[in-house]
């Protein structure tokens, strides 16, 4: 579901492009899974989308980007863009004291890609990562803005406050939905970084650079696929997309597995 927050920015940035979004509802959440398993799932999904004739794949999930982006770029014929590099770059550009926090899923923290990118961009910057396993289920639950969510954010934020960070990467595509809670917990002196806009810009620039963008005067389309329950996707997806979400098509896991075979 979280990737819909990124899709929203893509639809706004590139209204002339056509999008197909595949949400792996049958195997969520990815965050607690081993990196090798997330990598396999990602290769299956990318292979399936490539077979659908897409011209670019955006990995709109931090855990999947962390686990699989290099392998995807090696094995998939079309360009593949992830969500991590724009966030790391934005955080390094934003921080004033070079103390950067990361709030993300267990898989994203374990992969260590944010730390590598921050170190490459600024060897003197310090990244303090905190895994937040309770947040995704709470955000997808019935009361995403409830007291339990606020309390969880407070607990996860405390080590970052103790470390003196002035910038926090919201390293999961679910987190922007509760951005007001993060801002309330951290206050105005801490900058929150979530790079949906930068990621959408990178997609647009990649399409233009390769000369495969659509004519800007046309109106694009978007369709939704899920391996999970279509009704659940439609109901919860509208919360994340913040746009009308009509028909949702079901895809069997076996179809994804066959695409990667």
Positions annotated as catalytic residues are: 61, 172
Q: How far is CA 49 from CA 45, 66, 167, in A?
A: 6, 19, 35
Q: For residue range 58-87, list pLDDT tens digits in order.
A: 999 999 999 999 999 999 999 999 999 999
Neighbours of 143 (CB within 10 A): 10
Mean pLDDT of the chain: 95
Spatial contact of 101 and 125, defined as CB atoms under 8 Å apart: no
Neighbours of 110 (CB within 10 A): 17
Q: Which fold has domain 84-194?
A: Rossmann fold (3.40.50)
Q: For residue range 74-127, list pLDDT tens digits in order.
A: 999 999 999 999 999 999 999 999 999 999 999 999 999 999 999 999 999 999
Q: For residue range 178-215, list pLDDT tens digits in order.
A: 999 999 999 999 999 997 888 999 999 999 999 999 99
d(CA 122, CA 119) in angstroms, rounded, equals 5
Q: What is the pTM of this model?
A: 0.92
d(CA 57, CA 179) in angstroms, rounded, equals 26
As its CATH architecture, domain 3-83+197-260 has 3-Layer(aba) Sandwich (3.40)
Neighbours of 178 (CB within 10 A): 20
- Where in the chain are the domains? 3-83+197-260, 84-194
Q: What pLDDT shows up at residue 59?
A: 97
Spatial contact of 182 and 154, defined as CB atoms under 8 Å apart: no
Q: What is the DSSP letter of 100?
A: E
What is the share, in percent, of the chain residues with pLDDT greater than 90?
92
Spatial contact of 237 and 245, defined as CB atoms under 8 Å apart: yes
Domains 3-83+197-260 and 84-194 are alike in CATH topology: yes
H-helix or E-strand spanning residue 169: strand 167-171
Angle at 6 between CA 68 and CA 11, to 5 degrees: 125
Sign of CA dihedral 210, 203, 52, 17: negative
Three-class DSSP category at 55: coil
User: Is the pLDDT reported for residue 174 higher than 90?
Assistant: yes
Q: How far is CA 50 from CA 44, 149, 164, 211, in A?
A: 10, 37, 44, 18
CA-wise closest residue to 207 among 68, 69, 80: 80
């Amino acid at each position: 579901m979280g990737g819909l927050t990124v899709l929203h920015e893509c639809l706004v940035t590139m209204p002339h492009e056509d999008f197909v979004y595949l949400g792996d509802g049958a195997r969520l959440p990815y965050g607690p899974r081993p990196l090798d398993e997330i990598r396999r799932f990602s290769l299956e999904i990318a292979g399936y989308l490539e077979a659908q004739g897409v011209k670019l794949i955006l990995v709109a999930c931090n855990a999947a980007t962390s686990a699989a982006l290099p392998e995807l770029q090696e094995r998939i014929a079309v360009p593949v863009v992830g969500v991590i590099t724009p966030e790391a770059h934005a955080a390094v550009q934003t921080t004033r004291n070079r103390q950067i926090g990361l709030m993300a899923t267990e898989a994203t923290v374990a992969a260590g890609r944010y730390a590598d990118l921050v170190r490459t961009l600024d060897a003197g910057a310090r990244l303090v990562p905190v895994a937040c396993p309770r947040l995704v289920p709470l955000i997808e639950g019935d009361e995403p803005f409830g007291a339990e969510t606020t309390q969880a954010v407070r607990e996860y934020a405390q080590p970052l406050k103790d470390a003196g960070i002035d910038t926090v990467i919201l390293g999961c595509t679910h987190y922007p939905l509760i951005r007001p809670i993060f801002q309330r917990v951290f206050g105005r002196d801490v900058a929150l970084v979530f790079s949906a806009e930068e990621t959408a810009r990178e997609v647009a620039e990649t399409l233009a650079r390769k000369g495969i963008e659509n004519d800007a005067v046309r109106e694009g389309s978007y369709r939704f696929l899920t391996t999970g329950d279509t009704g659940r996707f439609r109901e919860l997806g509208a919360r994340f997309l913040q746009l009308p979400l009509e028909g949702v098509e079901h895809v069997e896991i076996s179809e994804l597995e066959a695409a990667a075979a």
